[in-house]
Amino acid sequence: MSDCIFCKIAAGDIPSNKLYEDDRVLAFYDIEPKAPVHFLVITKEHIKGACEITGENSALIAHIFEVIAKLTAELKLDAFRVITNCGAQAGQSVFHLHFHVLSGRILGEMG
């Protein structure tokens, strides 16, 4: 999508602090980290959010969690939280599917 910042990052048109990339997903550090370790895993395909996951694209979600397991192991993170916000009221500000991975501090209760 031409006006989507994460599509531009996936295309390499906007730089990111990249951790991992393959043909389907990209992982990069969040520009405004909410924890000592805070990275995002995004789909390369433009999917608006968790509300658009279907039988057609759900294999991508399994792949994202495989990538998260690989990256957190490489970073030696034994405790981490994975979050996806869907909808503005839930805190979604970029309307392109992404998973936050947070670690490096005690993460409080979910609010």
Q: Which residues contact 44 (CB under 8 A, 6 or more apart)?
A: 10, 23, 24, 25, 26
Q: Which stretch binds ligand AMP (CB under 6 A): 18-26, 29-37, 59-67, 70-78?
A: 29-37
Judged by CB under 6 A, the stretch of 18-26, 60-68, 71-79, 88-96 that binds ligand AMP is 88-96
Under rule CB under 6 A, residue 93 binds ligand AMP: yes
CB-based burial of residue 96 (10 Å sphere; 0-12 exposed, 13-18 middle, 19+ buried)? buried
12 is a contact residue toward ligand AMP (CB under 6 A): no
Site string for ligand AMP, 43-82 (x = CB under 6 A): ----------------------------------------
**Of 46, 63, 96, 98, catalytic:** 98
Q: Is 38 a catalytic residue?
A: no
Catalytic residues: 98
Interface with ligand AMP by CB under 6 A: which residues? Answer: 5, 14, 16, 30-32, 40, 85, 91-94
